[in-house]
Structures are given as C-alpha cells and as structure tokens.
Amino acid sequence: MLRQKLAENWQWTVLCLILMLSTIYARPLIPIDETRYLSVAWEMWHSNDFLVPHINGHPYSHKPPLLFWLIHVSWLLFGVSEWSARLVGPFFAFGSVALTVHLGKILWPANKAVRLAAPFILLGTFVWSLYGSLTMFDALLTFIALLALLAILAARRAATILPWSFLSLAIGLGILAKGPIVLLYVLPPVLLAPLWSEKDTMPWGKWYGSSFLALLAGIGIALCWAIPAAIQGGEEYRQAILFSQTAGRMVKAFAHGRPFYWYALLLPLLYLPWFFWLPAWRGWKKKSFDAATRFCLCALLPAFFLLSCVSGKQIHYILPLLPVSSLLIAHTVTTVPKRTPYDQVPLLVIFLMLSLALLIVPQLSLHGGDREMLQYLPKWIAVVPFSAGLFLYMTRPESMLKSVKIVSSSMLLLVILLQLALADPLHTIYDQTVIGEKIKQAQDANKPVAVFPPKLMDQFQFSGRLLTPVTPQNTFEELVIWSVDNPQAFCLVFTKIKINKQSKTTGIARQYSDGWLIFSPAKDFVANYQQWIAQPAIQSDSLNKSEPKS
C-alpha cells in the first residue's frame, strides 16, 4: 500500500519541493503584504501577547491570528528567522495538493487517472505556482476549505457526528485564518446538496439542521478567540474584528476595489496554461455530469460568483478554487479518447508570444510598481518559453496523463527559471535587512525614528527585530517639524524622486520597490529638505505623493 502511494505521488512531490525551495531562495519577503505579516508575527512573538495581534504598538484588526500562530510554531521548532517563517505558506500549499489528490480519490474512486493528473494540473497552474508559496493567508485558507469539502462528502455518506465535527473545525479555523470569507467556499456545496447528492442517506431536514449546527459550532470556535481578543483590544478593535472589516470588504472595499467582471476577464491568466490546452475543452463534449462533477461545480461556480460580487478583488483570492478546478480539468481530459496533433498548438502560440515579450519588454522604459523589475530580466530567459513550447509541440506522449505531466513540467520550469533569473534584482529592490538594522541601531541608542509615508510604519519590525514603535508622519512638512523638534533622532523617507544624489547626509540611501529609501539623522534631513524643494524639478507636493506600491 505504501509502495503504491509512493509510486503514484513521488513525481508531483518532487516538483512541488523544487518549486518551494527555489521560491524561498529566489524571492525575498515581498512588500507590502509579506513584510507586514511577518512584522505582526514578530510583535506578537517578542511581546508574548498571542491573543491580540499588534503592529507598531497598535492592535492589528485587518486579519485574524491563525497564520501568525502558525509562524510562531515554526519559530518555536526552527528558531526565529525569515526562512522558518516562510515555510508555513509552502507547507500548506503542499498539503493542499495532497488533499486535492485525496478529494479526487473520494469523488472518482474508480477513475485512478483523475487523482494522478490533478496534482500536476494544480501545480502547473501559473497562479498557483506563483502565489501558493507566499507568506499570506490563501494557501492556508485553501487547505482548510479542502478539509471542509472532504467533511461535507463524508457527512453525506455516513450518518455520524464525526464529519460534522470536522466541518465545524474547518469553519472555525477558516474564520481564524481569514475571517468569514471561508463561508463563500464552504456553504455553497452544503446548501446545494440536493443537486449533487446521489443517495438520500439522510433526510434533508436533518441535513440542513446538522449543517446549521455545524456552522454555529464553527462560529463558536472562532469566538473562543474573538471574544477575549475584543475585550482586551478595546472598543475600536472590537468593532473592527466583529463587523467593520468583513462588511467593508463585502460592500465597498477599503482597497483593491474592482468591477464585478474583473475575475471573468482574467480567466485566461487564472487558468494558464490549461485555458489554452485543447483537451481541457474537447473533454466537455463527452463529459457526463455525474454526482462528483456536480459537486465540484456546486463548490466552484457559486463561490466564483460570490467572489465577483465582493468589491475587494485580488488574483490570489481565487487560490481556494483552483484545487476543485484542477479536479474538473483532470476528469475532463482523462475522458478524451486520444490526443490530436493540434492539442498543443494554442499553447505553442502562447509560449512563443511570451518568449517574444520577454525579449522586448526589458528593453522598454518601465516605471512604477513591479514593472521596474522587468528591466533586469536577462536576454537568455526568452529562450525558456520558446524551448518549452517547442518541446510541447514535438513530443508525442502515448497517454493523456503524460501530456498533462509534460505541460505541467514545462510551466513549472518556466516559473522556476523566471524566479531564479530575477533573484538578484528582487533582493536588490525588496530586501529590507540593511534598513531594518539601521532602525534597530538607532532605537538601541534610545533615538526615536520617524517614517514617511505612514505606510512604512508596519514594514520593518521583523527585518530589524524592532522592539520599539516608529513614529509615522503624514506629510514631508510634518516630518520636517518633527525633525526640528528632535534633532538627535532619525528619519526614514520613501520617495520616487531620485534625490539621494543631492543629499549631504551621514545616513544611507537604497533602492526599494519602485523608489528610494533614505535613512538619515533628523538634522541632516532638515538641511536636505531645504535643498530638495529649492530645485525647480522637485516640489513639496510631489514629495508628499511618493508612496511605495500597495
């Protein structure tokens, strides 16, 4: 039994591990999210306050604490370091792939090809390979949502309390991971059970009654943290975690507000490369909508619709839907009777276009956000998608499963090599170590540090292992006044204007994100500010508009 499992799973396991290790090696912590979350985890760790998350000395209400607790577990096991914290995201991404295999076995027990193809389809999906290993909440939420789906299937098949207990636990952990958003992934297959259920093993009144009790129990699990945290965190924090954050994102997003159709427009990217792989479409012609297929559609389509209704949208919010999508694609392609010479042609075109883009884009003048990074791409990287596309077209695998493996491996190879090619510029642009150490040295000398813009106040706590809050300033003018009042203090400034060359300072200036970070004594900052605004090309309002990308 063990030998059979190893034979079935070792290939995707090796690919998954290579992807994870290359990601941790090639990518530093990416601002603003990863750096912020590790800063929150660090503040909880050094303060020994594991109930209410804090950032820069204030309660942090934007996210629940489960991810931070899991980072603490990793630190407890391996020591406080960046790499140990960054194991958490890949760990749950790997677990999600394993649960996808198990879910395929439960849904199609007689169709072994589904569970053999699904992990390669999931790993080869561009969005999953790019976002699954980030130190964010989505891989964790995906793992929990898959546990919930397995519990729902078990509850329909066995009239015992155990599956409902697991469903309650999944709901509670999902709320602790990312809030009530977990219900968008969990409740649709519960409510739509008559559409996918094959056997009436449980009366529907009892089904919905048990579902309601499981939901209440899951909410109760989350309240075991939320109520004590709300009491300790104060009125503002209580309002935020119990109402404001969820309502704000559902009705009118605080950030990332996008139109209803945004996800639909991005479908080719969200399901790259499978969206352009002909067998994934040809298989639908002869596909039977059995109970398992209906279950997957009930878990996928309503959640996609509800996510489209939510005002705040980001690409990585789709991650919990990708495992179910991979199972559907796996079942679809494995029903295709035979391959044709044209199966890979659309993919070949996409890879050739990507190769051309990688050759041209670095030569363009790119400014702002992540586009700055593209100028560092080496010319040889354009050969990779060209070679992958040519390899896809030239190979003649004898089975559809081998075709899936070839497409997946080609996509993974492209992602891995792209990350490795960008490793040095990524660390140059995003590494916070030097600035974090400078802030720590100033604070150890009992000298306060002010930052502008205020977004910087939650970015350097982990990189500098800071024990004291920094002081955010809303404008350059406020920072000047603060600096005059605190001449022995230090200032950290982000600007998109390359003013560091004109700066006469004993501090340092480093490239960061799409601009520059300048760390200097307050007295030097005041002198430099007068020089900057005296230049015709630099005005006070242009300085105040400089912010790192969010």
Judged against a pLDDT cut of 50, whether residue 253 lies above it is answered with no
Q: Work out the mean pLDDT of the chain and round it to a whole number.
A: 86
Buried-state track 131-167, b at ≥16 Cβ within 10 A, e below 16: bbbbbbbbbbbbbbbbbbbbbbbbbbeeeeeebbebb
What is the distance between the alpha carbons of residues 145 and 304, in angstroms, rounded to a whole number?
Answer: 14
Percent of the chain topping pLDDT 70: 87
pLDDT of 498: 60
Which residues neighbour 88 within 8 Å (Cβ) at sequence distance 6 or greater?
67, 70, 71, 74, 135, 140
- Average pLDDT of 6-31? 88
**Which tens digits make up the pLDDT trace of 461-471?**
999 999 999 99
**Which tens digits make up the pLDDT trace of 447-501?**
999 999 899 999 999 999 999 999 999 888 888 889 888 888 999 998 876 654 4
Under a CB-based contact definition with an 8 Å cutoff, are residues 156 and 201 in contact?
A: yes
- Give the β-pairing of 508-512 and 58-59: unpaired
- Average pLDDT of 384-405? 80
Among 10-24, 294-308, 371-385, the minimum mean pLDDT is found in 371-385
Longest dimension (CA), the chain: 79
Cis bond before residue 163 (omega within 30° of 0): no
Confidence grade of residue 367 (pLDDT, cut at 50, 70, 90): low
Judged against a pLDDT cut of 60, whether residue 250 lies above it is answered with no
Q: How far is CA 302 from CA 181, 188, 203, in A?
A: 13, 6, 24
**If 0-12 CB within 10 Å is exposed, 13-18 middle and 19+ buried, where does residue 404 land?**
buried
Buried-state track 344-360, b at ≥16 Cβ within 10 A, e below 16: beebbebbeebbeebbe
